[in-house]
Structure 1
Amino acid sequence: MTAYIVFTREATTDQTELDAYGQAVAASFAGHPLKILAAYGAQEVLEGTPPEGVVILEFPTMEAARAWYDSPAYQEVVKHRWKGSSYRVVIVQGT
């Protein structure tokens, strides 16, 4: 069943680290079946505190989503995101 990883950037703390993440993250996609559905597009907040940005990735299964997230390639890159920002990240199964 389809799964989605939703990244919600709450706050930027170090733009240099966030830029390093942005430049390197695409390489971590190699060999993983994913589709970028949204990436920092225009938002209309209906409820709650507005995030700085939202990214939604689609995967064929929860296992495929987790395989990418846990991959050595992504785990090397994500260190920059952790140093440069505060995010909320969830994997949600589609219906």
Structure 2
Amino acid sequence: MKHYAIANLRNVQLGPGIVEYLERIDATLAPYDGHFIVHGGQPEFIEGSWDGALIVIEFPDYDSVRGWYDSPAYREILHLRTDNADGVAMIVEGVGRTHKATDVLG
């Protein structure tokens, strides 16, 4: 089942640290078949409000996303993001195309 690394970043300081992080992150994703499916962008609010930039990176499975996050290559650049932005990051399991809303009931 696909898994996603999701982050909501706030107060991003667009300086040399974030620039280096952005220049290097794609190479850390490649060995784990990770790719961006949402990377910031201006949302259209249709209900409520949101503070920050949403990032969603798709991976083929849990082992891939965990392997990427724990990899030496990503750990080497992680501080470039955390030193220059506030936010939250998480790993979430996706659902298949046949998933129905009521599947969560039982």
**Kept after mapping to 1: 8 A contact 2:29/2:35:** no
Q: Taking every aligned residue pair, what percent have the same amino acid on both sides?
A: 24
More strand by share: 1
Following TM superposition, where does structure 1 have runs of at least 4 consecutive aligned residues deviating by more than 3 angstroms?
none
Tell me if 1:47 matches 2:51.
Answer: no
Q: What is the aligned-residue RMSD (CA, Å)?
A: 1.6
Give the aligned residue type for 1:69. Y
**Number of equivalent positions:** 94
Superposed CA deviations along residues 23-69 of structure 1, whole A, max 9, x for unmatched, are: 11112123111222111222124334421x22111111112111001
Is there any run of 5+ residues in structure 1 with no aligned partner, and where? none
Computing the radius of gyration over CA atoms, which structure comes out larger, 1 or 2?
Answer: 2
Q: TM-score, normalised by structure 1?
A: 0.85
Higher relative contact order (CA 8 A, sep 6+): 1
Q: TM-score, normalised by structure 2?
A: 0.77
Q: 1:14 offset after TM fit, Å?
A: 6.2
Is there any run of 5+ residues in structure 2 with no aligned partner, and where? 96-106
